[in-house]
């Protein structure tokens, strides 16, 4: 199924769509309030965008610099060209340490690589420790949002899920009590896992340290209680200097949830005595996207999710309708790079309203890239024949004033005589909307009568 079909399914329960829309709009409002509390907000965005631009232009050097510093810090650095290689590297580290169960904090990269599925096939038990991720994991689903993984779940449904898996009281839907149950369950996990995997929000070239941001403290709980820390990062997460964190940490959480900063912003530079720290640098299509003039800016993304919260389409179609680890507007410009055929529907899942571009803390021209992906997808032969034929026909009519006038006149006349020609269920417009009433004459015809030619 494609995005329109999944979105149509999502819209069959209108009350739920309203709830989903309003929940995310509430997050957008919190973001607005946080942004408007800083008069320097737009300067920060511009600065962040320029820092990331500098990174894109010097990425190879920064990667080498980062690697050298990280190695000097005692971190083991690995490189993975694609998802499969990343997953194998993780598995090898597990084998080397004779570990068959691990705890993992939020990492959209591992979602992109489908790490959990791969490790499950290898007989490794993985527990996601972010509460939202744990909820969707128990439900056998993928996250529907990069920051709010179970934003599509109602508390009553989570209550039922926890009753089944964690033994909470039947019918209990109190977020406080449910979170408390997850706290106990995951605390036991943290205390008994020897290996913890985290994502990376920022990696600093000049120091070789990397920063992980969480509200729950789950990344730190996992890592500080484990003998082995694996951090997986996309190669675009590099920033040049430590002081640049000042810019990004001011923007990230204000954009994401409206908080001034995440509860924990942890800077990992060296493993603690007795611990080993592995860092996996993953390409998986990023170097290809880097070579696309029109789309490389998408690599500036810091995964705040603001574009999803503001997107009127995302709010009314849900994250799963995108069928991509990263959903929403940013997902729609990242995913076609990974697989143009599979994700050909995504750049069209937008009205090009531009709100995403305005909230983006690193000023990615998201809606312009959506427009450009549409052109690329058509050129690459991803449009259906029916669409191509109808576009060519429309263009032919519009390119010829005589044909255009004739078609308009005939069309309006037919609509007046036979309204059922267009007002029927084969016309998607008519499903929820009336057709405009065709006037007797066009403006062109009126003008010819009332004004000198």
Partner 1 sequence: MTSREKILAAVRQNQPAASSLPPMPTSTTFDEQPLERFETILTGIGGRVIHVADLGEVSRYVEVHYPHPLRVITTLPELAGVAETNWTAYTPHGLADVELAIIRAHFGVVENGAVWLTEALLGQGDALVRAVPFIPQHLAVVLNQADLVPTMHHAYARIGHENYNYGVFVAGPSKTADIEQSLVLGAHGPKTMTVFLVSL
Partner 2 sequence: MTVGLFIPCYVDQFYPQVAIATLELLEKLGQTVVFPTGQTCCGQPMANSGFEHLTHTLSNRFVEQFGGVDYIVSPSGSCALHLKEHLHVTHDQAKAGQVQQRVYELTEFLTDIVQVNTLSANFPHRVGLHQSCHGQRGLHIAQMSELVAPPFSKPVELLNMVTGLELISLDRPDECCGFGGTFCVLEEAVSAKMGKDRIADHLRHGAEFITGVDMSCLMHLEGVLRRQGSKTNVVHIAEILNS
Q: Which of residues 9-48 bind partner 1 (CB under 8 A)?
A: 23, 26-27, 38-40, 43-44, 46-47
Per-residue interface string for the shown chain with partner 1, residues 82-121, x marking contact by CB under 8 A: ---x------------------------------------
Binding window for partner 2 (CB under 8 A); candidates: 11-19, 84-92, 111-119, 176-184: 11-19
Q: Using CB distances below 5 to 8 A depending on partner kind, what does residue 316 bind out of partner 2, partner 1, none?
A: partner 2
Name which of residues 293 to 322 contact partner 1 (CB under 8 A): 293, 296
User: Where does this chain touch partner 2 (CB under 8 A) — which range of 206-214, 218-226, 231-239, 346-354?
Assistant: 346-354
Q: What is the DSSP letter of 266?
A: E
Q: Give the nearer residue to partner 2 in terms of CB position, either 417 or 443.
A: 443
Q: Would you say 298 and 331 are in contact if contact means Cβ atoms under 8 Å apart?
A: no
Only segment of 246-254, 312-320, 323-331, 396-404 that touches partner 1 (CB under 8 A): 246-254
Query: Phi and psi of 73, rounded to 5°?
Result: -80, -5
Q: What minimum distance in Å lies between the beta carbon of 64 and partner 2?
A: 37
Which residues make beta-bridge pairs with 76? 278
How many Å apart are CA 275 and CA 277, to the nearest integer?
7
Give the count of alpha carbons within 13 A of 39, CB side only.
0
Tell me, rounded to whole angstroms, the distance of Cα 444 from its chain centroid. Answer: 46
Piece in contact with partner 1 (CB under 8 A), picked from 240-248, 340-348, 395-403, 435-443: 240-248
* Burial class of 182 by CB neighbour count within 10 A (0 to 12, 13 to 18, 19+): buried
Assess 272 for contact with partner 1 (CB under 8 A). Answer: yes
Contacts of 45 (CB under 8 A, 6+ apart): 251, 360, 361, 362, 363
Q: Least distance to partner 1 from the beta carbon of 8, Å?
A: 25
Given 3, 86, 145, 286, the residue binding partner 2 (CB under 8 A): 3
List the helix and strand counts (H, then E) for the chain: 22, 10
The residue (of 238 and 301) whose beta carbon lies closer to partner 2 is 301
Among 191, 394, 406, 421, binds partner 2 (CB under 8 A): 394
Residues 6+ apart with CB under 8 A from 254: 31, 34, 35, 38, 260, 361
* CA count, 13 A, side-chain hemisphere, 204: 19
- First vs last Cα of the chain: how many Å apart? 52
Range 396-435, binding partner 2 (CB under 8 A): 398-401, 404, 408, 411-412, 427-429, 431-435
Q: What is the distance between the alpha carbons of residues 227 and 193, in angstroms, rounded to a whole number? A: 9
Look at residue 391 and give the partner it binds from partner 1, partner 2, none, a contact being a CB closer than 5 to 8 Å depending on partner kind. Answer: partner 2
Q: Nearer to partner 2 by C-beta: 46 or 156?
A: 46
């Amino acid at each position: 199924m494609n995005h329109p079909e999944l979105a149509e399914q999502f819209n069959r329960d209108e009350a739920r769509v309203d709830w989903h829309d309003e929940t995310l709009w509430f997050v957008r409002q919190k973001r607005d309030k946080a942004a408007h509390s800083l008069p320097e907000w737009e300067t920060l965005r511009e600065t962040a965008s320029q820092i990331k631009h500098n990174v894109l232009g010097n990425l190879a050097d920064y990667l080498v610099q980062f690697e050298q510093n990280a190695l000097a810090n005692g971190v083991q650095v690995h490189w993975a060209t694609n998802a499969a290689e990343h997953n194998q590297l993780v598995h090898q580290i597990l084998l080397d340490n004779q570990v068959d169960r691990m705890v993992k904090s939020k990492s959209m990269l591992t979602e992109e690589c489908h790490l959990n599925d791969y490790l499950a096939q290898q007989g490794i038990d993985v527990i996601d420790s972010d509460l939202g991720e744990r909820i969707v994991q128990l439900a056998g689903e993928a996250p529907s949002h990069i920051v709010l993984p179970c934003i599509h779940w109602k508390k009553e449904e989570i209550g039922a899920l926890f009753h089944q898996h964690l033994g909470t009281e039947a019918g209990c839907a109190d977020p406080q009590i449910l979170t408390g149950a997850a706290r106990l369950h995951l605390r036991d996990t943290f205390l008994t896992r020897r290996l913890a995997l985290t994502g990376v929000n920022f990696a600093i070239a000049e120091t070789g340290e990397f920063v992980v941001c969480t509200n729950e403290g789950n990344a730190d709980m996992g890592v500080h209680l484990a003998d082995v820390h694996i951090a997986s990062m996309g190669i675009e997460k590099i920033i040049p200097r430590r002081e640049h964190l000042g810019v990004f940490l001011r923007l990230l959480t204000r954009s994401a949830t409206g908080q001034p900063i995440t509860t924990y912003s942890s800077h990992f530079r060296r493993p603690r005595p007795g611990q080993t720290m592995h860092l996996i640098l993953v390409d998986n299509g990023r170097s290809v996207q880097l070579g696309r003039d029109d789309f490389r800016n998408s690599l500036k993304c810091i995964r705040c999710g603001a574009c999803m919260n503001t997107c009127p389409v995302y709010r009314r179609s849900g994250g799963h309708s995108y069928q991509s680890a990263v959903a929403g507007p940013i997902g729609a410009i990242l995913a076609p790079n990974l697989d143009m055929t599979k994700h050909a529907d995504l750049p069209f899942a937008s009205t090009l309203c531009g709100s995403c571009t305005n909230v983006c803390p690193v000023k990615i021209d998201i809606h312009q890239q959506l427009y450009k992906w549409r052109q690329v997808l058509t050129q690459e032969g991803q449009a259906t024949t029916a669409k191509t034929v109808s576009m060519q026909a429309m263009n032919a009519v519009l390119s010829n004033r005589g044909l255009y006038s004739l078609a308009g006149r005939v069309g309006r006349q037919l609509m007046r005589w036979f309204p059922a020609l267009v007002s029927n269920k084969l016309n998607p417009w008519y499903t929820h909307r009336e057709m405009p009433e065709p006037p007797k004459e066009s403006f062109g015809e009126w003008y010819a009568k009332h004004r000198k030619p």
